[in-house]
Chain A
Amino acid sequence: MGNFELKLATFWREFYANGGYNMVLEGLKNTLIIAVLGLLIGSVIGTVIAAVRVMPKYKVLPRVLNGICSVYVSFFRGTPMVVQLLVFYYVLFPLMGVNMTSVMVSVMVFGLNSGAYISEIMRGGILSVDPGQMEGGRAMGLSFSATMMKIVIPQAVKNILPTMGNEFITLIKETSIVSFVGASDLYKAFNLMGTNTYEFMVPYLAMAVVYIVMVLIITLLIRLMERRLRKSDRSM
């Protein structure tokens, strides 16, 4: 056990005295930025796609849009996120002449990717809302999109909040891949501490702990939010 204490001391020296915590904080910050912005972008994209996919389809435009959305969703669900990240960072964005930091590219890819997943979650949420709500809106002369935005989606969001929490947790954990394109994340921070000290056991354990603590805190926050929502419509 003396060995472990030594390793712990080495880690602590690297983490505290040698300023390793700076990189951990930086990694934490990037992880949160990528996950939060990714979730926001993904929610917007996902909601739009879901709305397109439940549109009535006897006109041409909705059919075309629906086709585009299917392709989009199959691409982002059908390839690993690391691959998407690499393709966007090293191929697509350079080809398009877009110059972005690796963190911003990660935000984009996480947003695009979670948009595909959230569209499926949101579609389920929309389908779980009583069709009478859409009818009620349309019969009053509201357009499809106005009824969707004002009536159906707010109710759908309430239904899918727990699932969205899970999506957020998935995104948090997935951020551990962004060092593939050179972004400073938790993996990079702890890995560097390992490289500097030739001692990887404690840094990797510490990394696991940081992730678990983050996920636990988020889970707690989601629980609280759900409880408040449930209170507000106890009688439904």
Chain B
Amino acid sequence: MIEVCNLHKSFGDLQVLKGVDLTIKQGEIVVILGPSGSGKSTLLRCLNCMEDPTAGNIYFHGVDLTDMKVDINVHRQKMCMVFQHFNLFNNKTVLENLTLAPIYVAKKKARAAKWAKLLGRPYEVADIRSNKEISDEAEARAMELLGVVDLQDKAAEYPSKLSGGQKQRVAIVRALAMNPDVMLFDEPTSALDPEMVGEVLEVMRDLAKAGMTMVIVTHEMGFAREVASRVLFIDEGVIQEEGTPDEIFNHPQNPRTQSFLSKVL
């Protein structure tokens, strides 16, 4: 589903990624480990081109995202990201946070289809819908998703009224509302008070069980061991070692991996 070829990323003189190759298949849960500053976030952010790679290619469903001619927004809608600091829209209610992007996408499609119809070009009949239909459907879906994370009663609240754990659960279902093919998590529990980590991991565990493809940067080793189909260890800008959780956690081969794990376990 995602294929990363020889990815390099520098910030000015600082070489952060020095040639990363990675393939992520449908349904895989890839956990990325590595010391702080090793480029985990950078790698994740290159996947959806939030950072433009300095060199190398990212293929998503066979399309090269580093090609400047590609409409990156369309692909990001299928590759949603969950951030350490949630990044919920502060000026929108919880419900609006979930419906904003789906409504935007659906309206855009409807507009494009209407134009195509007018100009006699091919279009999807199903795309032509009224604004009301679009927002009703988005809201119904949003309420359903809020139900999954037990936050239906917060639908009308603003993010500032939520606890950290609640915010992150909203952020996860906000991403889910796009029906993404893959979800990227950048340390989703690192900014949370310890008692709230569990509720967020619970949601992610359910996603894993439901077969969602996920790429997760985390320091929750227990969680990584439990859900990962593959674990990568990154340091010095390259993937030092990768394998099953058992291989990485119980029999690490690379001395860097060994020393990292001895510090965090």
Knowing A140-B178, A142-B101, A235-B161, the reply to whether A133 touches B89 (Cβ < 8 A) is yes
Chain B contacts of A191 at CB under 8 A? Answer: none
Knowing A58-B52, A135-B50, A154-B91, the reply to whether A140 touches B158 (Cβ < 8 A) is no
Knowing A138-B76, A140-B178, the reply to whether A146 touches B83 (Cβ < 8 A) is no
B258 proximal to A (CB < 8 A): no
Smallest CB-CB separation from A136: which chain B residue?
Answer: B87
CA gap between A141 and B83 in the complex, in Å: 15
Chain A contacts of B77 at CB under 8 A? Answer: 140-141
From 146 to 202 in chain B, residues with beta carbon under 8 angstroms from any chain A beta carbon are 158, 160-161, 174-175, 178
Chain B contacts of A146 at CB under 8 A? Answer: 104
CA gap between A236 and B74 in the complex, in Å: 32
A132 touches B87 (CB 8 A): yes
Chain B contacts of A48 at CB under 8 A? Answer: none
Knowing A141-B105, A236-B90, the reply to whether A136 touches B83 (Cβ < 8 A) is yes
B178 touches A141 (CB 8 A): yes
Knowing A150-B100, A235-B161, the reply to whether A155 touches B178 (Cβ < 8 A) is no
Chain B contacts of A151 at CB under 8 A? Answer: 89, 91-92
From 205 to 236 in chain B, residues with beta carbon under 8 angstroms from any chain A beta carbon are none
A140 touches B175 (CB 8 A): yes
From 46 to 99 in chain A, residues with beta carbon under 8 angstroms from any chain B beta carbon are 58-59
B73 proximal to A (CB < 8 A): yes
Knowing A58-B52, A235-B161, the reply to whether A139 touches B80 (Cβ < 8 A) is yes
A132 touches B91 (CB 8 A): no
Q: CB within 8 A of B101: which of A58, A141, A158, A236?
A: A141
CA gap between A97 and B200 in the complex, in Å: 65
Chain A contacts of B104 at CB under 8 A? Answer: 142, 146, 150
CA gap between A122 and B158 in the complex, in Å: 24
Interface size on B, residues (CB 8 A): 31
Contact with A along B83-100 (1 / 0, CB 8 A): 101111111100000001
B229 CB, min distance to chain A CBs, angstroms:
24
CA gap between A137 and B101 in the complex, in Å: 8
CA gap between A138 and B92 in the complex, in Å: 16
CA gap between A138 and B178 in the complex, in Å: 13
B85 touches A141 (CB 8 A): no
CA gap between A125 and B75 in the complex, in Å: 30
A197 proximal to B (CB < 8 A): no
B66 proximal to A (CB < 8 A): no
CA gap between A236 and B158 in the complex, in Å: 9
CA gap between A217 and B73 in the complex, in Å: 47
A140 touches B101 (CB 8 A): yes
Chain B contacts of A140 at CB under 8 A? Answer: 76-77, 80, 100-101, 174-175, 178
A5 proximal to B (CB < 8 A): no
Chain B contacts of A141 at CB under 8 A? Answer: 73-78, 80, 101, 105, 178
Chain A contacts of B158 at CB under 8 A? Answer: 233, 235
Highest count of chain B CB atoms <10 Å: which of A133, A140, A154, A233? A140
Q: CB within 8 A of B160: which of A58, A132, A142, A235?
A: A235
B43 proximal to A (CB < 8 A): no
From 37 to 52 in chain B, residues with beta carbon under 8 angstroms from any chain A beta carbon are 48, 50, 52
Chain A contacts of B161 at CB under 8 A? Answer: 235
A236 CB, min distance to chain B CBs, angstroms:
5
B142 proximal to A (CB < 8 A): no
20 A-B residue pairs with Cβ-Cβ distance under 8 Å, sorted by A, are A59-B68, A133-B89, A133-B90, A136-B87, A138-B73, A138-B76, A139-B80, A139-B81, A139-B83, A140-B80, A140-B101, A140-B174, A141-B74, A141-B77, A142-B100, A143-B73, A150-B104, A151-B89, A155-B90, A155-B91
